[in-house]
Structure 1
Amino acid sequence: MCEANAFLTEQGREEKILDNVDELDIQGEEIRIVNIFGEQKILKAKFKSYSAAERKILLEPLR
């Protein structure tokens, strides 16, 4: 399994927003993330980085 945890990062702080993410879909200024349980969130954010080693997705909120 290659799920990752999604975080919003702002001013050097990281806030976990969803565990076990296995789908990420960028739709213009919105990002939809879905975890293995079907829970989903849609955020006004931009993709910042992904680390497979840390199982971490970093998103940055749009202003």
Structure 2
Amino acid sequence: MCEANAYLLKGGKEELVLESVDRIVPQEDGLLLEDIFGKKKILRARIKEMALVDHKILLEEIK
């Protein structure tokens, strides 16, 4: 499988926001994340780093 877990950087720490992310869709003011089960989450964030071999997506908040 090629899905990844998404983490949001908060205060220098990584907080898990959604597991098994399959899609990331840019939105006007952030990102729409969707997991393999169809659960969706919209975040005011941008991608800081993607390490797909490690199945990890690191996001940072947009202020």
TM-score when normalising by structure 2: 0.92
Structure 1, unaligned runs of 5 or more: none
The total of aligned residue pairs comes to 63
Q: Does 2:62 match 1:58?
A: no
Structure 2, unaligned runs of 5 or more: none
Share of identical aligned residues, percent? 43
3-state SS of 1:23 partner: strand
Could you tell me how far apart the structure 2 residues matched to 1:60 and 1:13 are? 11
Could you tell me how far apart the structure 1 residues matched to 2:46 and 2:30 are? 7
Which structure shows the bigger proportion of residues in helix conformation? 2
Could you tell me how far apart the structure 2 residues matched to 1:42 and 1:10 are? 16
Could you tell me how far apart the structure 2 residues matched to 1:60 and 1:43 are? 10
Could you tell me how far apart the structure 2 residues matched to 1:29 and 1:11 are? 21
TM-score when normalising by structure 1: 0.92
Q: Does 2:21 match 1:14?
A: no
Q: Which amino acid aligns with 2:13?
A: R
